[in-house]
Structure 1
Amino acid sequence: MRRKARQASKPENRPRFWGRHAVAAALANPERDIVRVWATREAAAQFEIGGGIPVTYADAADLGRLVPREAPHQGIVIEVERLDDILLADLLDAAEDGRPLLVLDQVTDPHNVGAILRSAAAFDALGIVTQDRHAPPESGALAKAASGALETMPWVRVVNLARALDEMAEAGFWRIGLTGEAETNLAEALGPPRVALVLGAEGEGMRQNIEAHCDAVARLPISCRIESLNVSNAAAIALYAAKVETEGK
């Protein structure tokens, strides 16, 4: 899949990843540029670090100073360049029936987006689409929450989310917006082989303009004892429901 090349970032803007799954996935990704590695000798021996990548050996306490306080670095920290951008047109060209697309409307928490990437990979989603200005950048916290999925799950950033939804419709996607106020539940709204699941930020939910670009709105049938679900939990349940619907045909 083609990527739109980014310019090399300034050192202070480069993400640092930590944790074994996030680091191993980044090291294994041929499209990820690794700038440098800091690690204990014991941890470094457990990874395949390509030749030419500078490695600085340090003890665990020194590594702790390279990441946010109490971050579980597990003995290794890497500095990376951000991945190049993926074009929406290319992602849609790769669409397959039964592989849902996730659209996030101003979901900005990196832990939530990371967890959504992980669920998207687990349920074989086509990819996720966010706005470029209202989504978190790549970061250590996001990569840790994604548990390696940041390197494998296509993530498209667009300028105009409403226009992107129009492009999805042209590519044959049935766009379902998830909202607790909908009368139809998700199981009833599913059906077409190509589905885009649209989720809004916690609290505000989908913006009105984004909801207007959906073919249907639906809710998850949760108990009245709780008002709503965390957006990453809602995404995981919606992906599971879409997979069950596809496999049941």
Structure 2
Amino acid sequence: MGDMHRIEDFKWQVEGRNPVMEALRAGRPIEKILVAKGSREGAVRDILKIARERGIVVQEVDRRRLDSISQTGAHQGIIALTVPYAYVSVEDILERARQAGEPPFVVMLDCVEDPHNLGAIIRTAECCGVHGIIIPKRKAVGVTPTVVKASAGAVEYVSIARVTNVASTLEFLKEQGLWVVGAEAEATPYNLQDMKGPIALVIGSEGKGLRRLVKEKCDYLVGIPMKGKINSLNASVAAGILMYEVLRQRS
């Protein structure tokens, strides 16, 4: 742990075996790891080995203490005290694509409020080669310990930006040469749309979909055909289908 971080900086926590392991692998500054007494097997053993090698303090505590401080309710016997998640700028995301020599692939979330949905989207985005995710500062969930847990640690490898205005950010992305594609239930089937170039994929909120102004900023809309009696998909499932279609077309 470097001298740049003071003890008062470590007011955030990462919970669960996979998220803590990925935080270590990604080099996130960690002040202390709390582990339930008797938890020394499998992934926990590997985590503690890395922690010892890096000089990170490990403290064995009663599992009830972990239960009392857990923010996810699913700590799996291990919690790391660390620094808050560091958001990036939209320009940083575009630069990441440039450095990779790839057309930008950005996911914009229009007011997704469920932390489990955001975590699942981050996890799929990492698997699909998304260069970054953009979320609003208001009326939407940010990166919380629950989101980190739901992402299975993928949040350590995905750039996320928070913006004040989604519509103006979409205009900026257009100016940078990206096509803005919105997910809309009754639109052209996604597999019939060319999505190989620079793209910003916009996913609406749970239950409400895209807001009117956001929808108007889209260059085109794509839908996911359905045959069942329920006419909508979970936001993270819809996002996953569309992200994998972009990956398929680019492969």
Q: Residue 110 of structure 1 corresponds to which residue in structure 2? A: 115
Higher mean Cα deviation, 39-48 or 129-138? 39-48
* Structure 1 residue 77: Cα displacement: 0.8
Q: Residue 204 of structure 2 corresponds to which residue in structure 1? A: 200
Matches for 1:62-211 after TM superposition, within 5 Å: 62-68=65-71, 71-95=73-97, 96-97=101-102, 100-182=105-187, 184-211=188-215
Partners in 1 of 2:86 and 2:109 — Cα distance?
A: 19
- TM-aligned CA distance change 1:45 to 1:191, over 3 Å: closer
Partners in 1 of 2:83 and 2:24 — Cα distance?
A: 12
Q: Residue 35 of structure 2 corresponds to which residue in structure 1? A: 39
Partners in 1 of 2:86 and 2:64 — Cα distance?
A: 33
Partners in 2 of 1:233 and 1:225 — Cα distance?
A: 17
Q: Residue 55 of structure 1 corresponds to which residue in structure 2? A: 58
Letter in 1 for 2:67: G
Structure 1 runs not aligned, ≥5 long: 1-6
Q: Residue 3 of structure 2 corresponds to which residue in structure 1? A: none
TM-score by length of structure 2 reads: 0.85
* Structure 1 residue 154: Cα displacement: 0.7
Partners in 1 of 2:215 and 2:80 — Cα distance?
A: 39
Contact 2:7 2:31 in 1 (8 A): no
Give the root-mean-square deviation of aligned CA atoms.
2.3
Query: Higher helix share goes to which structure?
Result: 2
Contact 2:36 2:62 in 1 (8 A): yes
- TM-aligned CA distance change 1:113 to 1:9, over 3 Å: farther
Q: Residue 4 of structure 1 corresponds to which residue in structure 2? A: none
Q: Residue 26 of structure 1 corresponds to which residue in structure 2? A: 23
Letter in 2 for 1:62: R
Secondary structure of residue in 1 paired with 2:236: helix
Q: How many residues align?
A: 236
Secondary structure of residue in 2 paired with 1:56: strand
Contact 2:196 2:246 in 1 (8 A): no
Partners in 1 of 2:90 and 2:216 — Cα distance?
A: 20
- TM-aligned CA distance change 1:68 to 1:91, over 3 Å: closer
* Structure 1 residue 141: Cα displacement: 1.4
Contact 2:189 2:224 in 1 (8 A): yes
Letter in 1 for 2:63: A
Letter in 1 for 2:80: I
Counterpart pick for 1:225 among 213, 229, 247: 229
Secondary structure of residue in 1 paired with 2:135: strand
Structure 2 runs not aligned, ≥5 long: 1-5
**Percentage of matched positions with identical amino acids:** 31
Contact 2:15 2:78 in 1 (8 A): yes
Contact 1:176 1:189 in 2 (8 A): no
Contact 2:191 2:245 in 1 (8 A): yes
Partners in 1 of 2:102 and 2:9 — Cα distance?
A: 41
